[in-house]
Structure 1
Amino acid sequence: MFRYVLFRLATAVPTLILISMLIFTIIELPPGNYFETYLAEQEALGETVDPAKIEFMKETYGFDKPVVERYFDWVVGMLHGDFGYSFEYELPVTEVIGSRVYLTMLVSFVTIVFTWLVAFPIGVYSATHKYSWGDYGLTFVGLLGLATPNFLLALILMYLANRWFGISIGHLMDQQYLGEPMSWDKFVSILQHLIIPVIVIGTAGTAAMIRRLRANLLDELQKQYVITARAKGVPPFRALVKYPLRMSLNFFIADIGSILPSVISGAEVVAIVLSLETTGPLLIRALKSQDMYLAGSFLMILAVLTVIGVLISDIALTLLDPRIRLSGGRTR
């Protein structure tokens, strides 16, 4: 196990280097840069910008240097905790992201818990009551959840809330708390506003997880060891929990690789529709405006979390399922 972890950590280094090269290249591919985009936007608005200021900023942040040199400066800076400077927000990247990371993590964590709490019992019920009216009904609801886009559900809920109750469900807190330091009243306001985003974001994930759990558990329940356990008189609950349920949870563990980056990125489109103060809209805006250090650093954080998440899921799978081994070779 220890050798395997060391090997995976060693291979993670060249993987992240290649990802950083790819991210930097993709961000550099579109013609122009943030300053040219900014000038075009200001000219479209009929405003003037001092060209000397633009040239000074280009010089300050190394845009007069070759691309390769700028890439190495960016990577070395990240290794020292300096993720660069956001030109649009005129702040260091760490300050821009840091103000939204905590809210994003809160929304994502509550959504994950909601998804698991809802999907787990429904999936087990559907598998153990195959072809019953309850199974058909839950299957229909699950298919609806898979077929309905999250942003469409968000728009519908916003309309109904405003039409029926005369309230706005946008943002993650009341307007008076925006930009204010954390307090108990602000925290309570955030909890009250969490309900709708969690339901909207968690709908599709819950529906997909129910279908996968049902399919995996049905497959395990039809295997010979379960039939033998029942024939020996093992109680139904124990015959379900002992191995079938445990073996069908592999995909829960495998999802850790995608859960970690999603905790930081959040649901971007839903966040825009609901005007959530999370990092998703921040990333999309950075990509549109070519705010390269903000976008590139954000994508690198997601890449690191993905590598860590996949490693954790691989190790956890070997602990959960004895049929999965970390090393190859013949099974005796």
Structure 2
Amino acid sequence: MLEDSIARLDDSARTADAPRGVVIGPCPPSDREEALELLYRRLPSSVRPRTIAELFRQADAGALDLSGLWIARRRGRLVGAMLTQALAGRAAAIWPPEVDRGWRADDLAPALVREALLWYQHRGCRLAQALVDRSSGRRAGAELARGGLPYVTDLVYLGRPVAEPLRPALGAPALRWEGLGDENRDDFARTLERSYDGSLDMPELSGLRGLEDVLEGHRAKGGFDPERWRLGRLAEGGEAVAVVLLSRGEGRTWEVSYLGLVPSARGRGLGKAALGHALDWVGEEGDRLELAVDVRNAPAEALYRNAGFRPFDRRGVHLTVLGR
């Protein structure tokens, strides 16, 4: 199984035990400001207060759950902090911890990661992931790996203006598109599931969670609207062969959360047709469309670049399977 290619968190093999005298656990509300000061201490002093205030604003608005903030204390002194979030679809997101670089720091950061992973595992999460940008440095990735989140691959983030025209591929079959509704829900689910077959984009995730968990995870992005979930059918014959999931990003930016084709539709110009439909659908609602691709998926990255998407970011992906 592809699932076996991802490291599993082993509850019994605790290779990142906390140093003696250190207490690790969820951060009490009264300690959150102090914990965030430590977590973002690398930010310039002119920026840090605004950043922390914005996090509290997001928490008050329900966009961020600060109960996912973890801390480590030694003899009452705060020596480590880490932000985590429970995600829809039985998943969890972990951000690299920040620790006091004094006493046994190399053991403390992995211990924070492992304690949080075990906590999520015991609460039924199936998958944990972390995305590490270049500014975090190599140490962050190494500490995540030692804590139980090994590196898997890189994601490249690309974007392009919506207004730029995209010419369809010559000879591509025509598609007709429809939003998700009661009448096509089963077709949509089957097409989405079929699109994972042979996919080069994060193949480690194939079969890891049930389809309903996957759908729940996508529904949680950017405010769910069934019209933004597009099902593409061949104009001739009506076979469902493509899915495009769109979500709102920040400002006037939109995101392609997922684009997939069933195996029989690949290599026929339909990927470009799906991108063209996404651009047309966003239309005047947005100025920019963004997406991400696994660096191992060379055909998809070539498709996106040929369609005018340009890279603007790159992040390392760390994954682990929780539970059994």
Relative to its length, the structure with more helix (as a share) is 1
- Flag the structure with larger Rg: 1
TM-score range, shorter chain: under 0.3
User: Normalising to structure 2: TM-score of the pair?
Assistant: 0.26
Relative to its length, the structure with more strand (as a share) is 2
